[in-house]
Structure 1
Amino acid sequence: MKYKEDMVAALCEEIRLRKNEYIKTTVETIYFGGGTPSVLELSQINQIIDAVYQHYQVAENPEITLEANPDDLTTEKLAQLNDSPVNRLSIGIQSFFEEDLKLMNRAHNAQEALACIVQAQTYFDNISIDLIYGIPDMTADRWRENIYKAIELKIPHISSYALTVEDNTALKSFIEKGLIPKVDDELAQEHFHILLDAMQLHGYSNYEFSNFGKEGYFSKNNTAYWTGKNYIGIGPSAHSFDGKRRGWNINNNVKYLKSIQASELTIEIEELTTVDRYNEYVMTGLRTIYGISLNKIEQEYGVNFKDYLLNQASEYLKDHLLYLDGDTLMVTRKGKFLSDGIASDLFMLNLN
């Protein structure tokens, strides 16, 4: 308990210490993520939000999201959150099938996943869930059932990701022992296209590669990140971006607490070159419905960058993986799943 109180106090102190970095920026979204923020008490959530309001200019109706796992969201917890400024939930459902959840070593079961959403909808309208595809042995039909369960529940926002296998996990051990098949890119691509079809059919916009939203429910947090807006990350390992520099906090909780308690910031800074910023814009732009503006490329980075981009994109344009919509370079449906790989081929490695 004391540790949690100390961490919350440190987060609030870091918010204060960094207030001068964003004097001219209006806070449009506050996002509680990066772990298990739902373990915080209501008073602690309010304490952090109050610190933001005290030291920053905040928009009139900011999006305030809390990430949570189904096993954290009890009826009591949901009722408490309903009395807080939090107005959006992002719930890590992952799957509505027991076998998938066991394979991914999730703490909740399929029944809890469903019950959690039904209970959350009693209090919240703006809800997002995560769904994972490309799971070994997941058939197209089972993946389709997952998607349509979310649609039936009238979830207005869905974030969906291909399964990744992390080191030192039960899943990796099972794969190495041959107990389950390896993760298959072709399976993931098949699942992604099933997802695209279902989302389009039911009125969801694929505004970013992994994110689908009904009108009025695009995540402001996600949109800000993918459109290159400034953001400030508070807490151990948190990342920040001011348009020209990236920064990240120390990733050790004890060292973080000690430094903040001494009113010292331990942030490593990376100055982004023009090439870095061009590459990041290409990567993020290509993943979104906003695409890559050739006019912006020329104005912000120079005509050489625009010429280079069009030259690198020429084969993808011929192969109908990219297309030009007026001034904007976009991925086609065929190219969407390959967008990160395409973007890497559009990167500029040097100016020589």
Structure 2
Amino acid sequence: MAGIYIHIPFCRQACNYCNFHFTTSLHYKKQLVDAIEREMQLAGAGGFIKQQPVATLYFGGGTPSLLETDAIAHLLEQANRYYPVADDAEITLEANPDDLSAAQLKAWKKAGINRLSIGVQSFFEEDLRWMNRAHNAEQARQGLLLALNDFENITIDLIYGVPGLSDGRWRQNVETALELGVPHLSCYALTIEPKTPLDKMIRKHEKNDIDAGRQSEQFLLLMNWLKDAGFEHYEISNFAKPGFRSRHNSAYWKGVPYWGFGPSAHSFNGMARRWNVASNQKYIHAINEGNIPFEEEILTPVQRFNEYIMIALRTAEGIDTALLPEMGKKYVLEQAVKHTRRGHLQQHGSVIWLTNEGKLYADGIAADLFLDA
């Protein structure tokens, strides 16, 4: 089974922490949709990924909810035209709270969307203003209430570690989501990405920098709260009620092949990775000329090994050393000993996974288990 990711690079306004490819100009929407349709056709004939059933389809961005419903429905029709999309495929649309209305939600559902990913980030006005989000706190709550009337399978994003976010306010954010009945949460520590507006503002001392210690404390609190609420912590940033794991993201973490369509979108076939040019105009022009404007990297055996270590360690299932080549298995088991002694890793049989405390050091532990290139 494979997946499809469609990148829609339009946003109403720029969040000051975001480093994804997007534009606040809504020009060229139709041209972009036409180009994505054409890329689907070209990629399907190109053979980068062997034709196989598509189990998940994900509209990401950007803000896909800014597209007209007819455009979303058209792209879904074309995906079904060029690829064997399964009848029970998980089809996710990322949406912002300010784009949610009763009519819009019903239209998305009719078009074939069966899962929503809503960029709430916070239910507090001061946090949303600090992040320069387009919606306000009331829209966050009311939009989510509306969405829950039409969709059972919903996830929301929440951000912790924002300067000034108290533990009490962080708990209220989480409790609001639980009280409303949201079955899946993606929770991220605020990160300062280079060259973003937030990075520049912090360098100019116009905003306070993040406190890594406070972020760790709020992450530990989060894990305890959601465990008590009956959520599975199935990936470092993702928590789900039983039966509500993201099938699309879970496939990424298992190394399942996926096609990526649209500017800056990535594709993966198990042996190589491709990524499209991060320019709307260059992308549209190239597609109109019959070319997909991508770069490609063929992964070496060591790169594939290290990617497995990095991704598997972030999941609840952990690293199964029985799947590793003998020399790699020996190295990982040797390197894991010191982290087990520190209480950051646990091992049962051939499987190694992170403890809650170890999740605070996930990137460093993974790097320690990598093989040298």
Gaps in structure 1 of 5+ consecutive residues: none
Structure 2 residue aligned with 1:285? 312
- Is residue 176 of structure 2 the alignment partner of residue 153 of structure 1? no
In structure 1, distance between residues paired with 2:202 and 2:283? 36
Match of 2:235 among 208, 218, 232: 208
In structure 2, distance between residues paired with 1:22 and 1:164? 33
In structure 2, distance between residues paired with 1:114 and 1:123? 15
Q: Would the alpha carbon gap of residues 186 and 2 (structure 1) be closer, same or farther in structure 2, given more than 3 Å must change?
A: closer
In structure 1, distance between residues paired with 2:29 and 2:207? 39
Tell me whether 75-84 or 323-332 shows the greater mean CA deviation. Answer: 75-84
Match of 1:144 among 171, 195, 207: 171
Query: Is contact 2:51-2:83 (8 Å) kept?
Result: no
Deviations 1:84-125 (A, max 9, x none): 100000000000011111111111111110000001111111
Query: Is contact 1:105-1:170 (8 Å) kept?
Result: no
Q: Would the alpha carbon gap of residues 173 and 256 (structure 1) be closer, same or farther in structure 2, given more than 3 Å must change?
A: closer
TM-score if structure 1 supplies the norm length? 0.95
Percent identity over paired residues? 44
- Is residue 37 of structure 2 the alignment partner of residue 12 of structure 1? yes
In structure 2, distance between residues paired with 1:177 and 1:42? 41
- State the AA in 1 paired with 2:64: P
Structure 1 residue matching 2:261: 3-state secondary structure? coil
Per-residue deviation at 1:11? 0.5
Per-residue deviation at 1:2? 7.4
Q: Would the alpha carbon gap of residues 48 and 340 (structure 1) be closer, same or farther in structure 2, given more than 3 Å must change?
A: same
Structure 2 residue matching 1:63: 3-state secondary structure? strand
Q: Trace 1:123-142 onto structure 2 (pairs within 5 A).
A: 123-142=150-169
Q: Trace 1:154-303 onto structure 2 (pairs within 5 A).
A: 154-167=181-194, 171-172=198-199, 174-178=201-205, 180-297=207-324, 302-303=325-326
- Is residue 146 of structure 2 the alignment partner of residue 119 of structure 1? yes
Deviations 1:168-219 (A, max 9, x none): 5554455345455320111111000111011100111011000001111100
Query: Is contact 1:22-1:56 (8 Å) kept?
Result: no
Deviations 1:27-61 (A, max 9, x none): 11000002111111121111111111111112220
Query: Is contact 2:69-2:111 (8 Å) kept?
Result: yes
User: May I ask how many residue pairs the two structures share in their alignment?
Assistant: 346
Gaps in structure 2 of 5+ consecutive residues: 1-25
In structure 2, distance between residues paired with 1:296 and 1:25? 24
In structure 2, distance between residues paired with 1:241 and 1:175? 35
In structure 2, distance between residues paired with 1:343 and 1:233? 26
Structure 1 residue aligned with 2:80? 53
Report the aligned-residue RMSD: 1.5
Q: Would the alpha carbon gap of residues 333 and 327 (structure 1) be closer, same or farther in structure 2, given more than 3 Å must change?
A: same
Query: Is contact 1:95-1:146 (8 Å) kept?
Result: yes
In structure 2, distance between residues paired with 1:340 and 1:167? 18
Structure 1 residue aligned with 2:14? none
In structure 1, distance between residues paired with 2:311 and 2:56? 19
Query: Is contact 1:294-1:327 (8 Å) kept?
Result: yes
Query: Is contact 1:38-1:66 (8 Å) kept?
Result: yes
In structure 2, distance between residues paired with 1:21 and 1:272? 14
TM-score if structure 2 supplies the norm length? 0.89
- Is residue 363 of structure 2 the alignment partner of residue 340 of structure 1? yes
Structure 2 residue aligned with 1:311? 334
Per-residue deviation at 1:323? 1.4
- Is residue 99 of structure 2 the alignment partner of residue 72 of structure 1? yes
Structure 2 residue matching 1:18: 3-state secondary structure? helix
Query: Is contact 1:23-1:56 (8 Å) kept?
Result: no
